[in-house]
Chain A
Amino acid sequence: MYRGPMPALQARDLHKRYGDGESAVDAVRGISLELAAGEFVAVVGPSGCGKSTLLQLCGGMDRPTAGTVAVDGVDLAGLDDEALTALRRDRVGFVFQFFNLLPTLTLAENIALPLLLAGVPRGAGLARAEEGARRVGLAHRLEHYPARVSGGELQRAAVARALVHRPALVIADEPTGNLDSDNGGRVLSLLLELNRETGVAVLLATHDQALAAAADRVLRLRDGAEAGRPAVGVRVGAVTET
């Protein structure tokens, strides 16, 4: 197994169960995953296979039922809500299928958001946002509101936002799923370029086999477990099932 100086992401034996009793659903079953700094990993699999859940666990948006996640060397299990928030703000970037920009902020403000939330002065934050926007080709759209720009531009702004604070890890969930192939291709190449330029690790979920092919490594999921491997028993408290 690869042993780097400090993996960007280290997930061990992750389980996520929703609900309990008979209606319980095991969305993720015993997945382990490690991303070295600068590594680009694609997660593929059919709808409902647990890709998004896995990304949420790895991005510190949700907590696993069992297993551990460490981002940039920090074990998420030991963090309270505030600390987890701070970790997301400082070390993780997010790109989603539905862009998820705030409609009430300009693109510049949207891109600068992680910095502004971290207390970087407005002027400095916006300057760095401008820099990021230029990198993704949006310098001319800085003062526009999300409703006034195209889907492709929105997603490029989201990419800029995900990277503006120089995170260790970018979580990208179907970033091209809502775009036409031209724009999708453009966003993908942006992600790849930035991955190489900045050395940020990228964990990307996609349906798109072509997209997956561009990744350093592909993780195939089926029914919440890594395809081709037998699902490992789910440990929830003292109960063990197979």
Chain B
Amino acid sequence: MTLFRQFIVRALRRDPARGLVTVAGLTLGVAVVVAIRLANTASVRGFETALDVVAGRTSLEIVGAGVGVPEEQLAGMGWLRGYGRVSPVIDRTARLETADGAGHRLRVLGVDVLRDRPFREYRLLRFSRQGRAPRPRELLDVLLDPASIVLTERFARRHGIDVGAPVRLVAGDAAHEMVVRGLLLDEGPARVVDGRLALLDIAAAQWRFDGLGRVDRVEIQLFEAADIDDVERAIAARLPAGLRVQRPAQRGRQVERMLAAFHFNLTALSYIALIVGLFLVYNTVAVSVISRRTEIGVLRALGATRRLVLGLFLGEAAVLAALGAALGAPAGWGLARAAVRLTSTTVNTLWVTSQATVPPLGAADVALAGAVAIPLALAAAALPAAEAAGVTPIAAVRGADGGTGRGRFPRRAALAAAGLFGAGAWLSTLEAVGGLPVFGLGAALAVVFGAAALVPVLLEGLRRRGRAVLAGRFRIEGLLAHANLSAAVSRLAVSVAALVVSLAMLAAIAILVGSFRETVAYWVGQTLRADLFVAVADGGPRGASAGVSEAAERRIASHPAVVAVDGFGSVDLPYGPGGDLIILGAGRFDVLLEHGALLFKAPADGRAAMRGAIGADAVAVSESFAVKHRAAVGDRIELDTPQGPRAFRVAAVYFDYSSDRGIVVMEEKTFARHYGPRRPGGLTVYLVPDADPDTVRDELLAAAGAGHRLFIRTNRTLRAEVLRIFDATFAITYALQAIAIVVAILGVAATLLTLVLERRRELAVLRLVGAGRAQIRRMVVIEAAMIGLLSQAVGLAVGIVLSLILIYVINVQSFGWTIQFHLPIGFLAQSTVLIAVTTALAGLYPARVASQVAAGVER
């Protein structure tokens, strides 16, 4: 231990720059891993907390097929009370407008107060001031008036609302005047969803949300919770067709599965930054070993065992990794908060509506950071540490001259690269595992490591071919830079490989995102044909609390400029043995066929197929549904309906990029026949050719009246919105990559510093025979820029291969989308220049150190 302090800790203190660069790199790497983990947990947890809170003490729940539980069926289910207390619930997301006109999205629960009391605690501010809970009668009084609403103390305080204040609840396109009749204490449920919770009486909620005769689910609190499995089976056996019983947590699991692919891919990305950080550890320990060969020799001569020497240097790596983990965990927490702000937009837009909050950093997270970073750092340090342990006392004390300026062709590396590329090609042909692109990522990883193995081969190529070019272009500094790089091929290979890996990932992601964006833009251009898009104001793009009212639709349809109106409504429906939540949509096929457009994947004449689906039990499915659930045209798929499972023929498969969950669309009348009538959540409006969409939009909004809230987007703004959401979705991937590149460039700087320190003696000779400081600086900066350019060249080539895997394997396995390959040449050219400049800049510090070596000879 004393020896460790004297030999390693003091040395690190003497040369803090080296240690700091490594710790900084590791910190960033660990931070990214922790951040993505926390952010992923946050987005699922956000939903789960909301779920837990709302579920209260519910043990089981009964749900219908997409459209809730009909009350008439409920009437015949009195037997449920033999198992426990039963409470029907309406559970929606709606918009609440305060007096100042500001709108807020809230979770709105409609409950039967008297039946629901055992399920959830309702602690109202008013009564708690009196030191008691509300009596049933009092609670009933609070909610009985259909205009009553209960908010949370936290929400009310934040927006300056008091009991008795008027608010407007927007449900569908109607805004209802309500009065705040009570405030829930800032504890339990109210607190975890950040106060965004409102209570209504169930009847009022059914009425407001256009759901008379139906409840969203029925919750059951068992008398004997221990028998839950038996009871679940018993209830399932007695339930009428179209209903199913499940645990509340099931919904959380569905959401988790829905997000699994997205999270899996983010996690895989985050590890790249860490891997790049590990290259730094290798570097640092390698420098340590090289610059101290003589000292190691002395230690060995004085009786230090190989094992002790090995331990010293592994210890150095462990200390650095521990520091990186300790700093990286809190940094990751900070990053996660930023990431959640970015991804929650994505997750909310694409998947679920939930309030994502990053859980506080726990000891477990710090421990995990250490558990990931330390073993990996030890693995990274193993090679140089073993080199140190191999130092013989004599060789070290003699100070044997290193550097021959010659290298053999790295045949083993070339073979390894070929093998890894082959493995990548093979892995990319394997199927997904449980919806996750495990082998696809394996293929990507094989290509990445193949690229890393290729680096020494390419460096050797540069060594053999580059001298004349460099010496010709940059004269003596170029010659020296080439000579230095050539002599350090094996030492450089590691950090260049790290840079190549992160640059390849950047190029691949740029190509993927660029291709995806082009594809989506094309798709939007082809399929968004309507002039106006009408949505209700309260919900997100899906899951509006109620649809567009018939009155509103009539008003729109009667506008003289309107030619046709299509309605699209959707419900979430569990599908298949896994119960994956798919989107079941209903639309007006005749309007779509006459005015709109879909891009069909199959059959060739998709329009005829759609026409044939009208009036039949037939559906069109999105590409991602077809890929994930292996459905082809002509197949019959089984969907849950309120009457039990029904088979539907797949008439067509169409391209869609709005959701990776899989969409099944049926004609509106087919939907109504099986699921009952339902107002569409949005309308698409086609105008006469010479109408000005903005004018019509303004006129429609003006005609809607004060009590109505509609969002109407023109074709142009919706297209822009689609691309805006798209860009926000991928912002985080760029952020991750930027971090990986920063770490990699730090690595290059650290390597150059290593080389400079190794070459002190040669630098002194150079200075002696007349090299000016500026010449030395130029030499090192040229080395840095060469490393940058070479890495970028390899990175681009490998990036293109990786992007093919991302687009044609990983994307298809995760999301089931067809993406047209497109090379974003402008971006790639810019990044190439940027990388060359940045790496050259990264060379400035080592260049300064090098230029300060005094002229002379060391003996």
- What residues make up the interface of A, taking CB atoms closer than 8 Å to B? 56, 60-62, 81-82, 85-86, 88-90, 94, 96-98, 100-106, 109, 113-114, 116-119, 122, 145-148, 161, 173
Contact = CB atoms under 8 A, between A and B. Distances in A.
Nearest to A102: B762
B855 interface: yes
B479 interface: yes
Interface residues of B, number: 34
B403 A90 contact: no
B143 to A, nearest CB: 85
Interface string B465-476: 000000110011
A103 B772 contact: no
B10 interface: no
Given A109-B483, A119-B475, 14 more contacts: A61-B768, A82-B772, A85-B855, A89-B771, A100-B857, A104-B405, A113-B766, A114-B770, A117-B766, A117-B769, A122-B471, A145-B404, A146-B405, A148-B404
B859 A147 contact: no
A94 B765 CA distance: 10
Contacts of B773: 81-82, 85
B767 interface: yes
A63 to B, nearest CB: 11
A61 B855 contact: yes
Contact of A85 (B487, B767, B857): B767
* 10 tightest A-B CB contacts, nearest first: A89-B770, A104-B483, A116-B476, A145-B405, A103-B403, A147-B404, A104-B487, A104-B405, A100-B765, A117-B770
A88 B401 contact: no
A173 B856 CA distance: 12
Contacts of A105: 405, 479-480, 483
B847 to A, nearest CB: 16
Nearest to B767: A85
Contacts of B855: 60-61, 85, 88
B406 interface: yes
Contacts of B774: 82
B771 A62 contact: no
A37 to B, nearest CB: 21
B487 A56 contact: no
A225 B803 CA distance: 73
A116 B772 contact: no
A116 B856 contact: no
B483 to A, nearest CB: 4
Contacts of A117: 476, 766, 769-772, 775
B486 interface: yes
B495 interface: no
A173 B486 CA distance: 30
A100 to B, nearest CB: 5
A88 B769 contact: yes
A98 to B, nearest CB: 7
A147 B767 contact: no
Given A81-B773, A96-B857, A147-B405, A102 B483 contact: yes
Contacts of A145: 404-406
A30 to B, nearest CB: 23
A59 B857 CA distance: 12
Interface in B25-53: none
B770 A122 contact: no
B484 interface: yes
A103 B487 contact: yes
A102 B510 CA distance: 43
Nearest to A162: B769
26 contacts: A61-B768, A62-B856, A82-B774, A85-B770, A85-B771, A88-B768, A89-B770, A89-B771, A94-B768, A94-B769, A97-B859, A100-B761, A100-B857, A102-B480, A103-B403, A103-B404, A103-B487, A104-B405, A104-B483, A104-B487, A105-B480, A105-B483, A106-B405, A109-B479, A147-B406, A148-B404
Contacts of A104: 403, 405, 480, 483-484, 486-487, 762
Nearest to B486: A104
Main secondary structure of the interface of B (DSSP, over half): helix
A142 B187 CA distance: 85
Nearest to B405: A145
Interface string B322-341: 00000000000000000000
Contacts of B769: 88-89, 94, 113-114, 117, 161
Interface of B: 401-406, 471-472, 475-476, 479-480, 483-484, 486-487, 761-762, 765-775, 854-857, 859
A40 B769 CA distance: 21
Contacts of A97: 859
B487 A61 contact: no
A121 B816 CA distance: 61
A97 B857 CA distance: 10
A102 B766 contact: yes
A98 B398 CA distance: 13
Contacts of B762: 102-104
A147 B771 contact: no
A184 to B, nearest CB: 18
B769 to A, nearest CB: 5
Contacts of A100: 761, 765, 768, 857
Contact of A122 (B472, B766, B856): B472
A90 B770 CA distance: 8
Nearest to A106: B405
A167 to B, nearest CB: 10
Contacts of B480: 102, 104-105
A101 B472 CA distance: 22
Nearest to A81: B773
A93 to B, nearest CB: 8
Interface centre among A61, A104, A119 (most CB of B within 10 A): A104
B771 to A, nearest CB: 5
A86 B765 contact: no
A71 to B, nearest CB: 13
A160 to B, nearest CB: 12
A179 B626 CA distance: 81
A85 B401 contact: no
Nearest to B851: A81
Nearest to A103: B403
B770 A86 contact: yes
Contacts of B770: 85-86, 88-90, 113-114, 117-118
Nearest to B487: A104
Nearest to B406: A145
A161 B480 CA distance: 16
Q: Which of B405, B479, B769: most chain A CB closer than 10 A?
A: B769
A60 B401 CA distance: 26
Contacts of B479: 105, 109, 116, 122
Nearest to B476: A116
A147 B401 CA distance: 9
Nearest to A87: B770
A103 B766 CA distance: 12
A232 B70 CA distance: 114
Contacts of A109: 479, 483
Given A90-B770, A114-B770, A61 B856 contact: yes
B731 to A, nearest CB: 45
Given A103-B404, A145-B405, A56 B856 contact: yes
Contacts of B401: 103, 147
A30 B480 CA distance: 40
Contacts of B405: 103-106, 145-147
A129 to B, nearest CB: 13
Contacts of B471: 122
B279 to A, nearest CB: 24
Nearest to A147: B404
Q: Which has the most chain A C-beta neighbours within 10 Å: B480, B768, B772, B854? A: B768
A86 B772 CA distance: 7
Nearest to B468: A122
A150 to B, nearest CB: 14
Contacts of A81: 773
A148 B404 CA distance: 8
B779 to A, nearest CB: 10
